[in-house]
């Protein structure tokens, strides 16, 4: 068991002495969890294969699921990736720092454990002062998947990281809640047209406006599991974001969704189950059974994205047996939110 040190740090003006402690750990090959604008990441020196192996071990992550590499200066992309297309340069110009990860051809300095054995690298520049200060001070790119145990909901608070990884990592930089709450968009630029492998903070609509043509990987919008063999985003084939409770998503027109959620909640509560309901500000008052939580407003899907993973963990902590979630529109951030909800529910979807 490792001694995990918890370092509280200012979100806007991270204290240099605190960042130095964390950066030293990274340089020595250790593991540091840190906040980004999306979720907390579990960082290690991306160029040190032994350090990156420790990430897989701490998270219990399958070895073929590659890790996103984080940089603090746009120019550093040219050291880690080769043959960057013009479209990539344009996207970097517009969306970095920010929640857009680009899949590019890896240069030969990138260890194969970091890329999960692939010849591509997934790379981004985060928009968070703590993340940027840590990368700069470490003086090297930092490989960082989400700082949760593999398969669990991603961490949006330091407490979530500690629930999963206390004693398994060297340190955590705690700067409070993350802003966006769902992970970055993963865009594959090694194919034509570029393809969204994972919807996230930068939306399909945003990308289409810049690129003209963008495709979405079928698994990213699937309503049922898509069989993935040799995939370009290996993470897509694994169980994800799953609460301990069973989960259902009810999709359709809001009125019908509310009726169905009520009916299901009543049925399972009468059968002796403890039921949690993930509703929205607009529908909260329609439910008088079960533990009801609002994900946020239907008119503000950013608020839903910010709350989602935290609510899944809260309902687990309250010991519910079943979570019933309302489906949401798939426009803009809704695509990322629905992707996470459906996966969290292992594709137990009811259409009404
Ligand atoms: P996370 O572990 O939550 O940070 O997720 C990282 C995601 O990026 C996973 O779905 C990975 O499979 C994906 N990813 C990372 N590197 C690559 C790569 N080189 N090519 C394609 N997908 C990648
Ligand atoms: Mg993850």
Q: Is 115 in the pocket of ligand 1 (CB under 6 A)?
A: yes
Closest ligand 1 atom, residue 183 Cα: 3
Mean pLDDT of the chain: 95
Average pLDDT of the residues in 316-340: 96
Is the pLDDT assigned to residue 27 strictly greater than 90? yes
Q: How confident is the model at residue 18 (pLDDT cuts 50, 70, 90)?
A: very high
Ligand 2 mean position, distance from CA 211 (Å)? 26
Nearest ligand to the CA of 63 is: 1
Q: Where are the beta strands (DSSP E) in the chain?
A: 5-8, 32-35, 40-45, 69-70, 81-82, 100-106, 120-124, 142-143, 171-174, 185-188, 195-198, 215-216, 246-251, 275-279, 291-294, 322-326, 349-351
Is the pLDDT reported for residue 231 higher than 70?
A: no
The predicted-structure confidence for 140-199, as pLDDT tens digits, reads as follows: 999 999 999 999 999 999 999 999 999 999 999 999 999 999 999 999 999 999 999 999
| Domains delineated in the chain | 5-221 (3.90.870.10), 246-351 (3.40.50.11030)
**Measured from the CB, is residue 326 less than 6 Å from ligand 1?**
no
- In the block, tokens 């070895």 appear at 63
pLDDT at position 224: 77
Q: Which residue has a Cα nearest atom 4 of ligand 1?
A: 145
Band (pLDDT 50/70/90 cuts) for residue 342 is very high
**pLDDT score at 228:** 62
Residue 222 in this model has a pLDDT that exceeds 90: no
Per the CB < 8 A criterion, the answer to whether 160 and 310 are in contact is: yes
pLDDT at 31: 98
Residues with CB under 5 A from ligand 2 (ion): 146
Q: Which bound ligand lies closest to the C-alpha atom of 148?
A: 2
**Residue 216's pLDDT is what?**
96
For residue 80 and ligand 1, the question of a CB distance below 6 A is answered with no
Which pLDDT tens digit goes with each residue over 249-295? 999 999 999 999 999 999 999 999 999 999 999 999 999 999 999 99
pLDDT of 227 reads: 66
Cα of 146 from ligand 2 centre, angstroms: 4
CA–CA distance, 56 with 115 (Å, rounded to integer):
12
* Cβ density class 263-287: b for 16+ within 10 Å, e for less: ebbeebeeeeeebbbbbbeebeebb
Work out which ligand 1 atom sits closest to the CA atom of 154: 3
Q: Whose CA is nearest to atom 2 of ligand 1?
A: 145
- How many Å lie between the centroid of ligand 1 and the Cα of residue 277? 30
Please, which pLDDT band fits residue 236 given cuts at 50, 70 and 90? Answer: confident
pLDDT of residue 241: 86
- Is the Cβ atom of 51 under 6 angstroms away from ligand 1? no
């Amino acid at each position: 068991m490792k001694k995990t040190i918890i370092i509280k740090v200012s979100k806007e003006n991270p204290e240099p002495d605190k960042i130095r402690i964390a950066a030293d750990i990274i340089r020595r090959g250790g593991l540091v969890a840190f906040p980004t604008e999306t979720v907390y990441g579990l960082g290690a020196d991306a160029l040190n294969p032994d350090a990156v192996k420790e990430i897989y071990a701490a998270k219990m992550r399958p070895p073929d699921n590659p890790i996103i590499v984080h940089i603090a200066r746009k120019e550093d992309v040219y050291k880690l990736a080769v043959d960057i297309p013009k479209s990539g340069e344009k996207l970097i110009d517009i969306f970095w720092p920010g929640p857009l990860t680009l899949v590019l051809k890896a240069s030969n300095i990138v260890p194969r454990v970091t890329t999960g054995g692939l010849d591509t690298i997934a790379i981004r520049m985060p928009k968070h002062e703590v993340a940027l200060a840590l990368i700069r001070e470490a003086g090297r790119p930092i490989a960082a998947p989400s700082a949760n145990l593999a398969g669990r909901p991603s961490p949006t608070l330091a407490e979530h990281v500690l629930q999963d990884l206390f004693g398994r990592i060297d340190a955590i930089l705690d700067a409070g809640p993350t802003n966006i709450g769902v992970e970055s968009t993963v865009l594959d630029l090694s194919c034509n047209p570029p393809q969204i492998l994972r919807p996230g903070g930068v939306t399909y609509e945003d990308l289409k406006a810049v690129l003209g043509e963008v495709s979405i990987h079928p698994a990213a919008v699937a309503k049922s599991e898509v069989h993935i063999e040799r995939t370009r985003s290996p993470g897509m084939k694994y169980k994800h974001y799953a609460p301990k409770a069973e989960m259902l998503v009810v999709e359709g027109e809001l009125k019908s969704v509310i009726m169905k959620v009520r009916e299901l909640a009543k049925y399972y509560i009468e059968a002796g189950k403890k039921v949690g309901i993930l509703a929205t500000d607009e529908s909260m008052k329609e439910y008088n059974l079960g533990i009801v939580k609002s994900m946020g407003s239907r008119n503000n899907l950013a608020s839903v994205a910010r709350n989602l993973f935290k609510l899944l963990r809260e309902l687990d902590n309250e010991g519910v047996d079943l979570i019933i979630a309302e489906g949401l529109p798939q426009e803009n951030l809704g695509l990322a939110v629905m992707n996470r909800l459906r996966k969290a529910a292992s594709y137990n979807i009811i259409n009404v």
